[in-house]
Structure formats: structure tokens, C-alpha cells
């Protein structure tokens, strides 16, 4: 048993463990992005209702009821946009975990490729795929920041009406204010939705690459560990076993604490 063989097996296992963790984080981020997209859609429906209320405020003999409806819609948009921002912050956190794990895997593969052996070509191929994944994570992170910024802007659009709604004696809201508030919020939410579509397409492209990289690094690690402990008398024509997960699972506390659905502390009220 050579020292180089032991070192190669250890590096392959480190790479497999890191990419395993990165793929899990990417999957978590993708699930959360879907949830954020649903919240964005609800916020946009609230902005549409807000715009529709403007005409009722303008034409009603007693507009108080419709002003209250408009302020309720503004509050709904504000709430959903805020929750969407919170979910996107979780997406960003999962992307940071994926980025860090990919860097760890890349370092292990770099070291492995410098050790002469039959696995050098496999390590080089995996390094290229990890590079692509790192680029995808960077691009996705930029999209998350852009979408969160649009949600924050839309929340700011409706905030004056939300603040005024706290004073029930102050209902001096004109139809033009309601209309312009709804229109501006809807414009920013539409832009956020377009960015969210780009984000989800990027996840759809990235997830298969991460899955393949995870599978191949696990197979490489398993092969190299098996080479260190060959079976003395193999059974003729053995049935091949499916690839197994690396023996070491990621122990990142943020990774372990992830839940696909938000907790009750973030669960919005006033659902529509």
C-alpha cells in the first residue's frame, strides 16, 4: 500500500463529500427559489387588485370602504414582498454553502490531479465541471440579489399607504395615488418575476451538472478506496453494486438545519 495511493483515496473522498454537500445546498436553494416565486406571484396579484380599486375610489359616493380595500391590498403586497425577500435571503445562504463546498472540492481535485496515477484524467474532467458549477453559482447569486432588490423596491412603493392605514382617522387617499402606487408596484414585481424566471432556468441547467459531478466523484472515491483494500478471492462474475454515498456526510450546521418549508415564525398571515 503506497502512501500516494492512500493520499489519493483521501483526496477523492474529500472531493466527493464536498460536492455531495454542494449539490444538496443547490437543491435546497432551488426549492426555496420556487417558494419565493410563489410568494412573488401573490404579491403581484395584490398589486393588480390595488390598481383595480383606484376606479372605485374615484367614482364611489362614499369612497371610504374602497380606500380601506386599497390599503388592505397595499398591506398584502408589502407583506408578501417582505416574505419573498426573506426566502431569497435563505436562497443566498444555501448558495454560499454550495460555493464554499465547491471550493473545497476543487482544492481536493487540484491536489489529486498532481499525483501521478490512472485517476488523473478523471480528476481533470471533474475539475472542469466544478469550475462550471462555481460560475453558475456566481451567476445565480447575482440574479437572487437583483430579484430581492426589485421586491424591496415594490415594498417601498406601497409602504406609504401601509403606514397611513395605521391611522384609521386619516383616509385622505386619492384615486390617482392608489392607481400610481399599484402601477409602480406592479411594474417592479413584473421585473422581479422576469428575474425569477431567469433564476429558475439557471437552477434547471445547473442541477443535472451537479448531479453528474456528485455521482462521478462518489464513484471515483469508492473505486480508489476499493483499490486500497482489494478482495483476496473475488466471487466469479460478481453482480455490480450501485454507487454509494461518501462515508463522510457534510456536517455544516446551516446545511443540517435547512427545512424546505419556512418555519412558523416566517409563515405569512392573511393568505389569499
pLDDT at 62: 78
pLDDT at 238: 39
Residue count (the chain)? 272
pLDDT at 68: 86
Residues of the chain where predicted confidence (pLDDT) is lower than 70: 1-2, 165-173, 230-272
Phi and psi torsions of 224, nearest 5°: -75, -35
pLDDT at 152: 96
In three state form, how does the secondary structure of 124-140 look? HHHHHHHHHHHHHHHHH
Verdict on whether the full-model pTM lies above 0.85: no
Q: What is the pLDDT of residues 253-270, one digit of tens each?
A: 444 444 444 443 444 445
Indicate the domain borders of the chain. 3-229
pLDDT at 134: 94
Phi and psi torsions of 85, nearest 5°: -60, -40
Hey, what's the cell of 166?
395605521
19 and 243 in contact (C-beta within 8 Å)? no
Sequential DSSP letters for 102-159: HHHHHHHHHHHHTS-STTHHHHHHHHHHHHHHHHHHHHHHHHHHHHHHHHHHHHHHHH
pLDDT at 260: 47
pLDDT at 231: 59
Q: CA-CA distance, 14 to 82, in Å (whole number)?
A: 39
What separation, in Å, do the N-terminal and C-terminal C-alpha atoms of the chain show? 65
Amino acid at each position: 500500500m503506497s502512501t500516494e495511493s492512500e493520499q489519493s483515496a483521501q483526496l477523492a473522498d474529500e472531493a466527493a463529500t464536498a460536492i455531495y454537500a454542494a449539490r444538496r445546498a443547490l437543491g435546497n436553494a432551488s426549492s426555496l427559489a420556487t417558494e419565493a416565486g410563489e410568494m412573488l406571484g401573490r404579491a403581484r396579484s395584490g398589486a393588480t387588485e390595488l390598481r383595480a380599486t383606484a376606479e372605485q375610489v374615484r367614482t364611489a359616493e362614499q369612497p371610504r370602504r374602497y380606500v380601506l380595500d386599497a390599503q388592505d391590498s397595499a398591506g398584502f403586497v408589502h407583506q408578501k414582498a417582505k416574505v419573498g425577500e426573506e426566502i431569497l435571503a435563505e436562497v443566498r445562504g444555501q448558495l454560499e454553502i454550495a460555493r464554499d463546498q465547491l471550493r473545497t472540492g476543487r482544492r481536493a481535485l487540484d491536489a489529486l490531479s498532481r499525483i501521478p496515477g490512472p485517476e488523473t484524467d478523471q480528476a481533470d474532467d471533474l475539475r472542469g465541471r466544478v469550475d462550471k458549477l462555481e460560475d453558475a453559482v456566481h451567476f445565480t447569486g447575482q440574479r437572487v440579489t437583483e430579484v430581492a432588490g426589485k421586491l424591496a423596491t415594490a415594498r417601498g412603493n406601497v409602504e406609504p399607504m401601509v403606514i397611513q392605514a395605521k391611522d384609521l382617522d386619516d383616509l385622505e387617499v386619492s384615486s390617482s395615488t392608489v392607481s400610481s402606487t399599484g402601477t409602480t408596484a406592479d411594474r417592479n414585481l413584473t421585473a422581479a418575476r422576469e428575474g425569477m424566471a431567469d433564476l429558475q432556468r439557471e437552477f434547471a441547467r445547473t442541477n443535472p451538472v451537479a448531479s453528474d459531478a456528485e455521482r462521478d466523484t462518489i464513484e471515483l472515491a469508492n473505486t480508489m478506496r476499493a483499490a486500497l483494500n482489494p478482495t483476496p478471492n473475488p466471487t466469479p462474475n460478481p453482480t455490480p453494486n450501485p454507487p454509494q454515498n461518501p462515508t463522510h456526510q457534510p456536517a455544516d450546521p446551516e446545511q443540517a438545519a435547512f427545512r424546505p418549508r419556512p418555519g412558523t415564525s416566517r409563515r405569512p398571515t392573511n393568505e389569499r
